[in-house]
Structure 1
Amino acid sequence: MTAAHPAPPTVPVPDGLPARFDDALRARCRERRVPALSAAVGRAGEVAWAGAAGWASADAGTAFRIGSITKPMTAVAVLRLAAGGRLGLNDPVGRHLPDAPAPDATVAQLLTHTAGLPAEPPGPWWERHGAGTWEELVGSGVEPLWEPGERHHYSNLGYAVLGRLLEEAHGRSWDAVLHDEVWAPLGMTRTGRTASGDAAVGYAVHPFDAAVLIEPVAAYGAMGPAGEVWSTPTDLVRFGSWLVGAGDGAAGDDVLPLAWRRRMTAPRAVVDDDAPFTTAWGLGVSVQHPAGGGDRRTVGHGGSVPGFTAALRADAATGDVVAVCGSSTAGFGDVSFLLDLLGEPRPVVTAAGGAADPDALALAGTWYWGPTPYTLAPRADGRLELSSPGGRDTVFARSSDGGWVGAEGGYWRGERLRPAGSGTPARALDVGTFHFTRTPYDPATPVPGGVDPAGWRPVPREAPARGGAD
């Protein structure tokens, strides 16, 4: 048993949901025979529920090893270097780390697991046995499996390289960098390379007997940036909420600007496992759609090391976040058992900001692309969404020069949206060169190709049927 910790601050959730979360967690714990499960749900950037189950009790303050959820935290620190101009995502890593395996692979390829490196370092099973120093890793004879960029292949080794890159850039250990630049600013007080305070014990559960085996907690050395961190579900919810901009504030942009987080969570590399594509990789996170279909897209990461499994998923549209940590090598299955209880995706939650952007409000309303109506609506996250029943929906975000540029989905991603012609408020928009007007083909605006001077004319009535010969 662990000591009780105070419950984290919460925001309201619909009546009945906390009890359903509790029931679902207890049921999953029994079904998967997990000694301890701890979980949290986030809404609007705050913890909405936290709970625990199992005979090896844990609570909101109990730390678990989170395995590879370490990777997106390492990625954030690397992206801070890129955002600050200290390296480029397309730089060969050997430019900054000459002794790196696969020195011709780019920083972005390491982040997306497309550098061609093997999954694990040479030697015994490092997650249980432990791993050595960077010098020992480099001297172990690492051989790439593919040319950089040829295909996606998940690589723990690649994140050891990124961790070493952080150490060389900052002159201190990778975990000190993460503490100072990620965990502390985001209020992740129970997250670290080692557990502080109460920590869960990791077990292997016998598959056919009511028996457990305590798993060793090995030191990971140079492999630490791939999976050595301890955390709690409530800390992970804070991280996941920040990642997708839910409830984000000024401190969040100080860690990494929202525009960079959107780059981080955009899919870049498809996972081709000879099955239908449901997963892609961004810069340090996986991007998933449900295998059985559905509209919910989540970003996040899973983690497993002997004795522990963890999962973090954030709904990129709504900001809903779930995090689960368990104390079993065999794991607890898909984390969607909690995410699905939140129901269908809801309208997007507020991000940094507050009052609506007056420039965005001035552009809101119905616009016509030729005769086709579109709706341009401000979103609570400060962006503009252009939508139509006919498709080509696109979300536009502020660009560095104060204009609007396509940021998500659809035909106009990367294209500009700007007022066309003169006058305030705008009577026309230029969207990637296409002309939108407040009424169909408004002749008072500079419609490319002009408008028939005769204007709209009625459709002729159908001629009456004629019978027989004259």
Structure 2
Amino acid sequence: MNELGDVLDDLLDRTRATRRVPALSAAVGRGGEVVWTGVAAAPWAGGPTAGGPTAGGPTAEHAFRIGSVTKPMVAVAVLRLVSEGAVALADPIGRHLPDAPAPDATIRHLLTHTSGLQAEFPGPWWERHGGPTWDELTASGVEQLWDPGERYHYSNPGFAVLGRLIEVVRGGAWDKVLRDELWEPLGMTATGRVPVGPSVRGYAVHPEADLVHDEPVADYRAAGPAGEVWSTPSDLVRFGMWLVGGEADRDAGEAVLPLELRRHLAVPRAVVDDAGPAGGPWATAHGLGVRVRQDGAVRTVGHGGSVPGFTADLRADAGTGDVVAVCGSSTGGFGDGTALLAAFQGDGTPLVRPVPEERPAARPQGSEGLTGTWYWGPVPFVVRVDAAGRVDLRSENSGGRGTVFDVVGGELRGVDGGYWLGERLRVVRADGAPVALDIGTFHFTRSPYDPGTAVPGGVDGAGWHRPGPTG
């Protein structure tokens, strides 16, 4: 493993530098064992979320917030209820939670993001501001944009509903259920709703300067099942090996959920068609709480995760059982684990995928005052307005999200392509001029985290600042 370990170490170092991520931590697994771990970090990007950096910087034992990689864990707890006959995938959620949004959607619809529920929670950007209580969620007017089963539309509220289902049926907090029924049996001792050991601080990194901005760690409350868990890459690898039947202790794995049901999780059920108006091939589908990706001849099962300050990726090769997990401490992200898995499996894929060159953005112009660059945290997007007044929002330097908005019922709604299809775009004005965009509750500004606007969760008291020994 020494020579291959050097290759993986080099990959991690180069990716961290190229993507300008304060800290990256990764692990790979094979044959039921974690066979490599690596950490790459800027000298200042040390330890915990409170108390300042630790001597020597983060280690493989430091936890990161893993965002939506929480979701497949919640799905496992739901499938355990199904296996016991406590609920059925075909049950309308209203049968078990009469106050739930979209009560006619089934548990299967919620797991596959086909319930029709909106993408985010009503109110300020919950990932920075904090999530609602269950009572607040049910009173907030969560929209059902489509009939259940009509189309795939990623929904964080849908997994809050599933977390509530677990709590009602089990009679205890969703994270305690996961600890008792999943994390402890699989030896995931570093995983929890809050850090159970050392953890890293999450940052936004300025897109045009060597400056950072501390990100808040908000309490997600009822939204927690959508993305609140902390973990390490090694623990995620253990989970990934178990997902595809590659765990070392087969008896313990079967006790959590039989392999037949784990394979049921990974059946592709809903196409993830986020290509946008330009179209193009799709290679990702959603199973029951897991993403199924087809990268050439390799099919992987797992999930990605993103919350302010952190991104994560888990990919398990369904054919070989090889698993990779990567966690990073930057809002802007590091890409994904594809290249790391390819390097581990030795197919010659380049170690670092080049970052696509950013095309020059049109500066603000025109009567609408909307065109030009807007920032979702530190991530640049470009807005163009066509002759018909349709607003095209596109991430041009990362191949990311893009949606076209048009007037529907007197307001701007996503009408074509991507994550914000069906979602509302609201222009925030000051003295008649646009100063912020609220897109599905996410806050976009003309400069990264513009303190002159009402940034949900607030801004770093130090502003954008040069990183140093205290972060």
Structure 1 length-normalised TM: 0.69
Name 1:264's counterpart in structure 2. Answer: 265
1:158-179 alpha-carbon deviations (Å, 9 max, x no partner): 0000000001001111111111
Q: Say whether residues 1:30 and 2:17 are aligned partners.
A: yes
Contact 1:68 1:304 in 2 (8 A): yes
Instruction: Provide the C-alpha distance between the structure 2 equivalents of 1:247 and 1:142, rounded to a whole number of angstroms.
Output: 39
Name 1:283's counterpart in structure 2. Answer: 288
Instruction: Provide the C-alpha distance between the structure 1 equivalents of 2:212 and 2:346, rounded to a whole number of angstroms.
Output: 38
Contact 1:308 1:326 in 2 (8 A): yes
Q: Say whether residues 1:253 and 2:240 are aligned partners.
A: no
Name 2:390's counterpart in structure 1. Answer: none
Name 1:152's counterpart in structure 2. Answer: 152
Residue type of the alignment partner of 1:276: P
Q: Say whether residues 1:192 and 2:192 are aligned partners.
A: yes
Name 1:6's counterpart in structure 2. Answer: none
Name 1:213's counterpart in structure 2. Answer: 213
Residue type of the alignment partner of 1:241: M
Q: Say whether residues 1:47 and 2:34 are aligned partners.
A: yes
Name 1:99's counterpart in structure 2. Answer: 99
Of all paired residues, the percent bearing the same amino acid is 65
Correspondence 1:130-169 to 2 at 5 A: 130-169=130-169
Deviation, 1:272, is 2.2
Contact 1:34 1:327 in 2 (8 A): yes
Instruction: Provide the C-alpha distance between the structure 2 equivalents of 1:101 and 1:279, rounded to a whole number of angstroms.
Output: 27
Q: Say whether residues 1:330 and 2:332 are aligned partners.
A: yes
Structure 1 unpaired stretches of 5+: 1-12, 346-470
Instruction: Provide the C-alpha distance between the structure 2 equivalents of 1:131 and 1:41, rounded to a whole number of angstroms.
Output: 33
Instruction: Provide the C-alpha distance between the structure 2 equivalents of 1:296 and 1:123, rounded to a whole number of angstroms.
Output: 40
Instruction: Provide the C-alpha distance between the structure 2 equivalents of 1:289 and 1:170, rounded to a whole number of angstroms.
Output: 35
Residue type of the alignment partner of 1:90: A
Residue type of the alignment partner of 2:207: P
Structure 2 length-normalised TM: 0.69
Name 1:302's counterpart in structure 2. Answer: 304
Deviation, 1:277, is 2.0
Contact 1:37 1:58 in 2 (8 A): no
Residue type of the alignment partner of 1:25: L
Deviation, 1:343, is 3.0
Contact 1:166 1:174 in 2 (8 A): yes
Q: Say whether residues 1:233 and 2:238 are aligned partners.
A: no
Name 2:457's counterpart in structure 1. Answer: none
Deviation, 1:276, is 1.3
Contact 2:326 2:336 in 1 (8 A): no
Correspondence 1:383-462 to 2 at 5 A: none
Instruction: Provide the C-alpha distance between the structure 2 equivalents of 1:31 and 1:244, rounded to a whole number of angstroms.
Output: 31
Deviation, 1:275, is 3.0
Contact 2:238 2:247 in 1 (8 A): no
1:376-408 alpha-carbon deviations (Å, 9 max, x no partner): xxxxxxxxxxxxxxxxxxxxxxxxxxxxxxxxx
Q: Alignment RMSD, CA only?
A: 1.1
Q: Secondary structure at the match of 1:16?
A: helix
Contact 1:132 1:221 in 2 (8 A): yes
Residue type of the alignment partner of 2:336: D
Runs of 4 or more, structure 1, over 4 Å off, are none
Deviation, 1:344, is 6.1
Instruction: Provide the C-alpha distance between the structure 1 equivalents of 2:293 and 2:196, rounded to a whole number of angstroms.
Output: 32
Instruction: Provide the C-alpha distance between the structure 2 equivalents of 1:191 and 1:137, rounded to a whole number of angstroms.
Output: 26
Instruction: Provide the C-alpha distance between the structure 2 equivalents of 1:129 and 1:343, rounded to a whole number of angstroms.
Output: 41
Q: Say whether residues 1:111 and 2:111 are aligned partners.
A: yes
Instruction: Provide the C-alpha distance between the structure 2 equivalents of 1:334 and 1:242, rounded to a whole number of angstroms.
Output: 20
Instruction: Provide the C-alpha distance between the structure 2 equivalents of 1:62 and 1:154, rounded to a whole number of angstroms.
Output: 29
Deviation, 1:25, is 0.2
Instruction: Provide the C-alpha distance between the structure 1 equivalents of 2:340 and 2:288, rounded to a whole number of angstroms.
Output: 25
Deviation, 1:197, is 2.0
Instruction: Provide the C-alpha distance between the structure 1 equivalents of 2:181 and 2:246, rounded to a whole number of angstroms.
Output: 19
Instruction: Say how many residue pairs are matched.
Output: 329
Deviation, 1:125, is 0.1
Q: Secondary structure at the match of 2:69?
A: helix
Contact 1:21 1:338 in 2 (8 A): yes
From 324, 333, 339, the equivalent of 2:341 is 339
Q: Say whether residues 1:204 and 2:204 are aligned partners.
A: yes
Structure 2 unpaired stretches of 5+: 46-56, 348-471
Q: Secondary structure at the match of 2:94?
A: helix
Contact 2:308 2:331 in 1 (8 A): yes
